[in-house]
Amino acid sequence: MKTILITGGSRGIGAATALLAAKEGYAVSVNYYRNKAAADTIVSQIKKDGGLAASIQADITKEQDVKRLFSETLQLFGRIDVLVNNAGTLEKQMKFRSMDLDRIIGIFNTNVFGQFLCAREAINYMGRSHGGRGGSIINVSSLASKTGSPNEYIDYAASKGAIDTFTMGLSKEVAEEGIRVNAVRPAFIYTDIHSDGGEADRVNRIKDSIPLKRGGQASEVAEAILWLASEKSSYSTGIFIDVSGGK
C-alpha cells in the first residue's frame, strides 16, 4: 500500500485530498498544526470506511518538526510515496502599503519555507540515490500567483509565485531521482481560508465573474491532486493544473 503525506490535512483542500486518497487505496498521514480534533475526525472517517490513516501534529515552519513528521509517518506506514505540500496561511485583506514585516515573514515562513522543508525531506526519503523508490510531490499553489491579488493579499500571492518557480526548478533537479514535482493552482474554492482573509463569503461575492459562474469545491481540487500523484500522470513533471473555474 502506498503512503501519502498531506500537510495541513485537517481542513479544506487537505481534508478533501485525504478522504479521496484513502478511497483510492493510499495509507494517509494527516498532518495538522493546531486542530487535533479536526484531523482526528478525518482519520476516523477514513478508518470507518476501511482505510488506513493517522494524524500527526507538526509545525512545518520548524525543521525538527518536519523531520519528526516524516520519521513518524515512516514508522507508522513503512514508506512515503507522495507528499502533498498543502499547508498554507492567509492574513486579512489589505493594501500592501499597510502590511507590516511580521505579517509578511509569517506568510513566507509557512507558504514558502515550510513547503521547502517538507519537499527537501521528501526527496531524502523518495530519491533513488538515497535508496528510495521515487515518488511524487504536489505543491498547492494558487491562481493568485498569476493575478497578484492587488488590494487584498499581495504577500500571499507573492508567496505562491515563489512556489511556482520552486516547482519548475525542483521538477528538473529531481527527475533523475524518480521524483515528479507538479502543482495545482486553485482559486475561488469554498474553504474556510477566506475567513482567515476576513471575508468568509468572498467566493459568493465574485462568482458571477468566474466563467463557470460558480465557486469550486475542495473535492474538485483533490481530484487534480490525486491525478498528479498517480501513475496516470507518469509522464508529467513541472506542470500546473489551474482549478479555478476558467479564470
C-alpha cell at 97: 502599503
Q: Phi-psi bin for 164: left (phi > 0), alpha (psi -120 to 50), beta?
A: alpha
From 32, 156, 190, 235, the catalytic residue: 156
User: Distance between CA atoms of 157 and 185, rounded to whole angstroms?
Assistant: 11
Q: What is the DSSP string of 49-71?
A: TT--EEEEE--TTSHHHHHHHHH
Residue among 32, 119, 31, 39 nearest 82 (CA) = 119
Q: Which of 107, 120, 24, 21 is nearest to 70 (CA)?
A: 120
Spell out the residues 6+ positions from residue 211 whose beta carbon is closer than 8 angstroms to its own. Answer: 245, 246, 247
Cell of 116: 521547502
Q: Are 145 and 185 in contact (CB under 8 A)?
A: yes
Is residue 153 annotated as a catalytic residue, yes or no? no
> Which residue is it, cell 527537501?
120
Q: Taking a C-beta distance cutoff of 8 angstroms, is the pair 20, 223 a contact?
A: yes
113 DSSP assignment: I
Residues carrying an active site annotation = 156
